[in-house]
Amino acid sequence: MKISYYPGCTLKNNAKNFEDSALCSLKTLGVEVEELHRWNCCGTVFSLATDDLIHHVAPIRNLIRVKEAKNDSVMTLCAMCYNTLKRANERVKSDPESLQKINDFMYREDITYKADVKVLHLLEILKNDISFKKISEKISKPLNNLKVASYYGCMLVRPEGIGFDDIENPVILDELMQILGASPVDFPYKVECCGAYQTVDKPEIIVERTHAIVDSARNNGADIIIVSCPLCAFNLDHRQKETLKKYPEFKHIPVLYFTQALAIALGCPKESLRFDLHYVDPKPILKEKGLIS
């Protein structure tokens, strides 16, 4: 059976490197995925208000699309999409009255949603369904000698019950990097927020966070930082430009999606890596380690 895939809006432009590398990796692993038909933006952030049902309509509508595709689970890549879809789903699962209202609101949909879709993140699928063992058998270019700081941020791990790893000390990315042959480094800032959407109107806040987070990775010996969220990627990579302006002694480190590291190890062609979308060029360090030509 094909896995239903929800891309979300940023994976189609700024984070095309995330999407292309993920899809190439899955193909190499022999997993068939199919993008949802007529998906819509999930709204990015889960509404925290008790009385704000309208903002759960967008994520729930996407879950109806999964049922239309005759599937019972959906794969996400973006950590924020994952969080929003999963939390909205949990909310209506535990609150039939809200579910009823949202269904009533979407009366033109052919399917009445029954809160029966499972929202999964690619990392869970890699670990639980495909298995890290099978991945290790398919590796053609182990990431030897590459020191990696895995950044989890917020939305992959919090709140408790939504994330699929320990909320204070997640390890799944480090485990994956180890399977790929890389060496994870200790990284105390791995679950510290990058400042998220403050990047639009208060980029000076992001400069401070990026400075602290990237410096910590460097001080622990990392060659690259690994992320799973396009907003983390933008803040930690592109905002290094403004960070350097404020802190002249600051040193750049490339930021990669975990799927790009996976794609390199699985021997995906370089077109799927899309390094042209990065601010800090990852090519020099990857060439130095003999991982790309």
Partner 1 sequence: MRINISRKNIKNSFVEKIIEISGQNLLHCYQCGKCSAGCPAVSEMDILPNQIIRFAQLGLKEELLKSKSIWICASCMTCNARCPKGINIAEVIEAIRLILLRKREDHVQIEKLSDDEKTEVPPIALVSNFRKFTS
Contact residues toward ligand SF4 (CB under 6 A) are 8-10, 41-42, 44, 78-81, 84, 153-155, 193-194, 196, 229-232
CA–CA separation, 263 and 276 (whole Å) = 16
Q: CA-CA distances (angstroms) from residue 246 to 224, 236, 239, 243, 278?
A: 22, 15, 11, 5, 20
Q: Which does 184 bind (CB under 5 to 8 A by kind): ligand SF4, partner 1, none?
A: none
Q: Which does 51 bind (CB under 5 to 8 A by kind): partner 1, ligand SF4, none?
A: partner 1
Q: Which does 238 bind (CB under 5 to 8 A by kind): partner 1, ligand SF4, none?
A: partner 1
Q: Which does 121 bind (CB under 5 to 8 A by kind): ligand SF4, partner 1, none?
A: none
Q: Check if the beta carbon of residue 211 is closer than 8 Å to that of residue 242.
A: no
CA–CA separation, 232 and 257 (whole Å) = 10
> In this chain, which stretch among 30-38, 97-105, 136-144, 201-209 interacts with partner 1, using CB under 8 A?
201-209
When the beta carbons of 119 and 179 are compared against ligand SF4, the nearer one is 119
Q: How many residues bind partner 1 (CB under 8 A)?
A: 42
* Extended beta strands in the chain, E state: 3-6, 33-35, 73-76, 118-121, 147-150, 183-184, 224-227, 255-257
Q: What are phi and psi of 255, to 5 degrees?
A: -120, 125
∠ Cα 271 273 275 (to 5°): 100
Coil, helix or strand at residue 35: strand
Q: Check if the beta carbon of residue 119 is closer than 8 Å to that of residue 86.
A: yes
When the beta carbons of 157 and 291 are compared against ligand SF4, the nearer one is 157
Candidates 198, 247, 275, 292: give the one binding partner 1 (CB under 8 A).
198
When the beta carbons of 214 and 231 are compared against partner 1, the nearer one is 231
CA–CA separation, 22 and 77 (whole Å) = 8
Q: CB-hemisphere CA count at 13 Å for 202?
A: 9
The CB-of-283 to partner 1 minimum distance in angstroms stands at 22
The CB-of-13 to ligand SF4 minimum distance in angstroms stands at 10
Tell me: does residue 221 bind partner 1 (CB under 8 A). Answer: no
Residues that bind partner 1 (CB under 8 A): 8-10, 13-15, 41, 43-45, 48-52, 55, 78, 80, 154, 158-160, 167-168, 191-193, 195-202, 205, 208-209, 230-231, 234, 238
